[in-house]
């Protein structure tokens, strides 16, 4: 096992998930019920499953496409989302 890669993956996902909608949903659910362990295990399993799907899909794309094309596509996608957040006017509720 590559422990450095494991640590980097954990840190990246942990930081990305802080303040995420899934965390806010878990906070809301745990405030409404008497079983916080069930919410913890349910949300943990959902994150594990979503990460598993991401790894499988990424591995599949890496088998078909060159890695520089995957990185360029990911960078362009993130840049487009960032620019969209900057320039698209937000709607007030």
Buried/exposed code over 57-86 (b: 16+ C-beta within 10 A; e: otherwise):
eeeeeeeeeeeeeeeeeeeeeeeeeeeeee
Q: Is residue 36 part of a domain?
A: yes
Q: Is residue 74 part of a domain?
A: no
Q: What is the pLDDT along the chain (93 residues), one digit of tens a residue?
A: 889 989 988 888 888 887 778 888 888 888 888 888 999 999 899 989 999 998 999 899 889 999 899 889 989 998 998 888 788 776 654
Give residue 91's pLDDT.
Answer: 61
Q: Is residue 84 part of a domain?
A: no
Q: Is residue 43 part of a domain?
A: yes
Q: Is residue 40 part of a domain?
A: yes
Q: What is the tally of structural domains in the chain?
A: 1
- Residue 72's Cβ-side half-sphere holds a number of Cα atoms within 13 Å equal to 5
For the entire predicted model, the pTM comes to 0.64
Residue that has been written with the tokens 């620019």 in this structure:
83
Domain that holds residue 45: 3-65
- Three-class SS of 68-83: HHHHHHHHHHHHHHHH
């Amino acid at each position: 096992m590559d422990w450095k890669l494991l640590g980097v993956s954990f840190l990246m996902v942990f930081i990305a998930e802080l303040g995420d909608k899934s965390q806010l949903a878990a906070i809301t659910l745990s405030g409404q019920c008497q079983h916080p362990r069930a919410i913890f295990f349910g949300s943990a399993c959902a994150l594990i499953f979503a990460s598993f799907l991401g790894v499988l899909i990424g591995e599949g794309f890496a088998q078909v496409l060159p890695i520089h094309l995957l990185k360029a596509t990911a960078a362009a996608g993130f840049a487009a989302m960032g620019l969209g957040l900057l320039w698209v006017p937000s709607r007030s509720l």
